[in-house]
Amino acid sequence: GAVVSQHPSRVICKSGTSVKIECRSLDFQATTMFWYRQFPKQSLMLMATSNEGSKATYEQGVEKDKFLINHASLTLSTLTVTSAHPEDSSFYICSARDQRWTEAFFGQGTRLTVV
């Protein structure tokens, strides 16, 4: 299958600071990328969908000014958690798909801890 790399795998930041998470497709063109959040012992909830070169589409209830998504190239999307607070601590997972495919491939996830 195709490979999606997410970085960093773990990050700890101070409350009030911003943190950026990268999602890269290593061997295909990711025309669409998805960002998910997973709280402990819960399922993955879709936060937003981004198409290369376009603004991201956010799911209901997700603050677009807090979770900035950039998808400027066919291999890279970034999620920036701005002014992070402890309640933003979570596991963030990205996935990516080529427009020719039905299936998206998932990154390894990023564990964000805000202290």
Partner 1 sequence: AQSVTQPDIHITVSEGASLELRCNYSYGATPYLFWYVQSPGQGLQLLLKYFSGDTLVQDIKGFEAEFKRSQYSFNLRKPSVHWSDAAEYFCAVVSNTGGFKTIFGAGTRLFVKA
Instruction: Please report, as ranges, the residues that interact with partner 1 according to CB under 8 A.
Output: 1, 6, 32, 34, 42-46, 49, 57, 93, 95, 97, 102-104, 106-109, 111
Rounded to a whole number of angstroms, the minimum distance from the CB of residue 16 to partner 1 is 26
CB–CB of 47/59 below 8 Å? yes
User: Quick one: 74 or 82, whose CB is closer to partner 1?
Assistant: 74
Report the alpha-carbon distance of residue 61 to residue 52 in Å, rounded.
23
The 10 Å CB-count burial string (b at 16+, else e) for 9-18 is: eebebeeeee
Structure tokens given for 52: 């290369």
Question: Closest distance between partner 1 and the C-beta of residue 19, in Å?
Answer: 18
Neighbours of 108 (CB within 10 A): 11
Which lies closer to partner 1 via its Cβ, residue 83 or residue 108?
A: 108
In the complex with partner 1, which residue's Cβ is closer, 75 or 95? 95
